[in-house]
Amino acid sequence: MSNKPQCVKCPRMLCYPIIAATEKPSFEEAPRFCPSKSKQDVIERSVREYDKEEIREFARLASVQEFQCYEKTPNGLMTRIPRIEETIQFAQKNAFKRLGLAFCVGLAGEARMVSGILEGKGFEVISVCCKAGAIPKERIGIRPEEKILGPDRYESMCNPITQAEILNSEDVDFAILIGLCVGHDTLFIKYCKVPMTVLAVKDRVTGHNPLAAVYLSQSYYARLLIPASA
Ligand code: SF4
């Protein structure tokens, strides 16, 4: 069996042990593919990044925010707030003032609502639509028959690099992605130089909830489980 990391196949999850704070996790019984065991060098090197003061503080605030998303009740641990509030609280903790929204034209209404909510909470909001620049799709080699609106219509390309560069040039403290397509989001993330998070991912058929299809993979989306033919 290969020892390439395969955490999804882990039977034990020993990296998330239920032990006292004074005890030490043990990986003696971990599977061969366990990166906690086989990638010690990478772990040591990457964890040293948290020694940088700014990174450590950002990570600390993220974990404090995570903690505050739960509450202990007589009925057990309960969740408290949706992601939009988690995002707002995290931005407040970091004293971010100027937020950037990079949104898909297909979610312009949602982006407008989010912008209004953020402004109401006292943030300055800079927003950039994926079509900014109105560059024709032909610029990146799209053929007329590959245009969604038809070969005879002008069709602006999704332009995530420009979205990222505009937000970079506006010196926003924190960028928030709303609904960019797969691949366009990849480019935005590659070119965005400010800290960023994702509020929503696009899923055209599930109301932007991609896991809905995963949950239904035993039934209505059983085609997901059909192996790819060789
Ligand atoms: S890191 Fe190791 S113990 Fe944790 S889930 Fe992955 S394989 Fe399992």
Which class for 77: exposed (0-12), middle (13-18), buried (19 or more C-beta within 10 A)? exposed
Packed helices 108-120 and 83-93: angle between N→C axes, nearest 10 degrees: 40
Over residues 91-115, mean pLDDT? 98
Contact 194, 168 (CB under 8 A): yes
Alpha carbons 217 and 230: distance in angstroms, whole number: 21
pLDDT of residue 14: 97
| Residue bearing tokens 């990391």 | 5
Contact 161, 191 (CB under 8 A): yes
Contact 169, 93 (CB under 8 A): no
DSSP 8-state class, residue 140: G
CA angle 52/68/87 to nearest 5° reads: 70
pLDDT per position as a tens digit, 32-69: 999 999 999 999 999 999 999 999 999 999 999 999 99
Ligand 1, atom nearest to 31 Cα:
7
Which class for 124: exposed (0-12), middle (13-18), buried (19 or more C-beta within 10 A)? middle
Ligand 1, atom nearest to 6 Cα:
7
Name which residue sits closest to atom 2 of ligand 1, judged by CA: 34
User: What is the DSSP pairing of strand 98-103 with strand 70-73?
Assistant: unpaired
Task: Give me the chain's average pLDDT, please.
Answer: 97
pLDDT of residue 88: 98
Over residues 78-103, mean pLDDT? 98
Tokens of 32: 């061969």
State whether the beta carbon of 156 lies less than 6 angstroms from ligand 1.
no
State whether the beta carbon of 38 lies less than 6 angstroms from ligand 1.
no
Alpha carbons 46 and 32: distance in angstroms, whole number: 21
pLDDT per position as a tens digit, 6-41: 999 999 999 999 999 999 999 999 999 999 999 999
Tokens of 89: 């609280």
What's the 42 CA to ligand 1 centre distance in angstroms?
Answer: 15
Alpha carbons 213 and 220: distance in angstroms, whole number: 8
pLDDT per position as a tens digit, 127-176: 999 999 999 999 999 999 999 999 999 999 999 999 999 999 999 999 99
State whether the beta carbon of 36 lies less than 6 angstroms from ligand 1.
yes
